[in-house]
Amino acid sequence: MTADELAAIHARAMVVPPAWSAVTIEGFLDAPGAILATTEAGFALGRVAADEAELLTLAVSPDARRQGQARRCLEELERMAREKGALRLFLEVAATNDPARALYVGAGFGEAGVRKRYYRGTAGEAIDAIVMSKTLLPA
């Protein structure tokens, strides 16, 4: 997928935090340690540094949700992170994003902390970010 295609999916999928532009996505893709997992209608973008990985964003088109695409992207991103030497994967998710939090818990992530008032909602309200992490076991 091109950065423009990824940005289009991101725009359809995201409310909080706001969607990223193709330029922003290209910047992450061009950075050292970037990893990208895609499906027909979704993607997970992350990065690996030393023995840690971070899921930067995960987006699936609304019309393709509840079909396992997010889980497939997440599993592929985890595999790629392990291949690059990551032992742990971190992510942040809006405290109000119950479907995403359920996905991450179901995938074995645990809560590692809270970033108070990290995001802004559509009405300008402050939303906490839940920091989650998962140990990546060798395949």
Q: What does the alpha-carbon distance between residue 10 and residue 103 come to, in Å, rounded to a whole number?
A: 18
- Does residue 75 carry a catalytic annotation? no
Q: What does the alpha-carbon distance between residue 121 and residue 71 come to, in Å, rounded to a whole number?
A: 25
Neighbours of 42 (CB within 10 A): 26
Is residue 130 within 8 A of residue 101, CB to CB? The reply is yes
- Does residue 104 carry a catalytic annotation? yes
Is residue 6 within 8 A of residue 43, CB to CB? The reply is yes
| Residue in 54, 78, 92, 119 annotated catalytic | 92
| Residue in 78, 104, 111, 125 annotated catalytic | 104
Q: Which residues participate in catalysis according to the annotation?
A: 92, 104
